[in-house]
């Protein structure tokens, strides 16, 4: 079974630009979550999608948005990039059950550098 | 609000020895689950072990075991017979507030296994 696939692996952008990151979950998984990881803030939850609907959203500005397609693939978009958006963006997939033992399966992440 | 605390930014351990990584948590939910993930330099977060709040026994997965002390709100990860490949960042995590689908992560512990 293929794991979670994130593309691209690395991105370099300049301030003011926008960027789109892609995530393909494990086959059969309907939930996709996105996390931002930085040395200073650690892992922070961005949002979670289930069956094309956003179920949860973290405390990030509206420049961060996402969507999920009918095949469960998800994209994350960041508009008007700022230097502080430089981070590793991790995507995680799961079955989407609201259970304590529901574990997440992560991709290798997209390393975004904003210059 | 849920919170995960990992107080050891970095740890060293000699190959073949055991090491304990600390994790304390705070939650008001009566039912919750605790996870440990490993993040090698490649970036992908790898699930290691899970402990449910109502589990009577400490969880074990191969060389990994979880020392769960509910009254102290601690869930320490024990790695036995450390290997060079265990060198990585380790994160303790739990589900967010009941009914949500976000996970909260600690700041992580960087483990270095010495030959």
Interface test with A, best of B43, B49, B107 (most A CBs within 10 A): B43
If one compares A67 and B95, the residue with the highest pLDDT of the two is: A67
Residue B8: its pLDDT value, please? Answer: 96
Beta bridge partners of A76: A21, A66
**Residue B59 main-chain phi, psi, to 5 deg:** -75, 145
For A29-83, how does the pLDDT look when each residue is reduced to its tens digit (9 = 90+)?
999 999 999 998 899 999 999 999 999 999 999 999 999 999 999 999 999 999 9
Average pLDDT over residues B48-55: 92
Per-residue pLDDT band for B1 (boundaries 50, 70, 90) equals confident
Cβ within 8 Å, pair B106-A33: no
CA dihedral for A40, A99, A25, B111, sign (positive or negative):
positive
Closest Cα partner for A34 from A96, A95, A86, A107? A107
Q: How far is CA B80 from CA A17, A80, B64, in A?
A: 47, 47, 7
- Are the C-beta atoms of residues B91 and B36 closer than 8 Å to each other? yes
If one compares B95 and A25, the residue with the highest pLDDT of the two is: A25
Inform me whether the pLDDT recorded for B97 exceeds 80.
Answer: no
- Within 8 A of A103 by CB-CB distance, chain B residues are 35, 47, 50
Find the closest chain A residue to B49 by CA distance.
A103
Find the closest chain A residue to B45 by CA distance.
A106
Q: How far is CA B72 from CA A18, B8, B19, B23, B64, in A?
A: 46, 17, 20, 11, 20
| CA distance to partner chain B, nearest, from residue A63 (Å) | 20
For B59-90, how does the pLDDT look when each residue is reduced to its tens digit (9 = 90+)?
999 999 999 999 999 999 999 999 999 999 99
Cβ within 8 Å, pair A90-B45: yes
Q: Is the peptide bond before A8 cis (omega within 30 degrees of 0)?
A: yes
For B10-37, how does the pLDDT look when each residue is reduced to its tens digit (9 = 90+)?
999 999 999 999 999 999 888 889 999 9
Residue B95: its pLDDT value, please? Answer: 85
Sequence-distant (≥ 6) Cβ neighbours of residue B26 within 8 angstroms: B1, B2, B3, B5, B73
**Which tokens is B97 given?**
């507030």
Q: What span, in angstroms and rounded, lies between the C-alpha atoms of A10 and A114?
A: 11
Of all residues in chain B, the percent with pLDDT exceeding 90 is 82
Residue A98: its pLDDT value, please? Answer: 75
Cβ within 8 Å, pair A33-B103: yes
């Amino acid at each position: 079974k293929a794991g979670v696939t994130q593309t691209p692996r690395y991105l370099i952008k300049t301030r003011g630009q926008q960027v789109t990151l892609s995530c393909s979950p494990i086959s059969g998984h309907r939930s996709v979550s996105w996390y931002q990881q930085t040395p200073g803030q650690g892992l922070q939850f961005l949002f979670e999608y289930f069956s094309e609907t956003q179920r949860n959203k973290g405390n990030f500005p509206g420049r961060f948005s996402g969507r999920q397609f009918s095949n469960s693939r998800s994209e994350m978009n960041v508009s008007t990039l700022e230097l502080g958006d430089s981070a590793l963006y991790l995507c995680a997939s799961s079955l989407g059950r609201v259970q304590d033992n529901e574990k997440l399966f992560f991709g290798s992440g997209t390393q975004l550098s904003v210059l | 609000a849920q919170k995960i605390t990992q107080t050891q930014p970095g740890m060293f351990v000699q190959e073949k020895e055991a090491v304990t990584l600390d994790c304390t948590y705070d939650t008001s939910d009566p039912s919750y689950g605790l996870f440990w993930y490993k993040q090698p330099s490649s970036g992908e977060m790898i699930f290691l072990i899970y402990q449910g709040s109502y589990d009577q026994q400490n969880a074990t997965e191969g060389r990994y075991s979880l020392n769960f002390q509910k009254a102290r709100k601690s869930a320490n990860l024990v790695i036995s017979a450390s290997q060079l490949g265990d060198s990585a960042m380790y994160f303790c995590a739990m589900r967010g507030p009941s009914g949500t689908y976000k996970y909260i992560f600690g700041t992580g512990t960087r483990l270095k296994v010495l030959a």
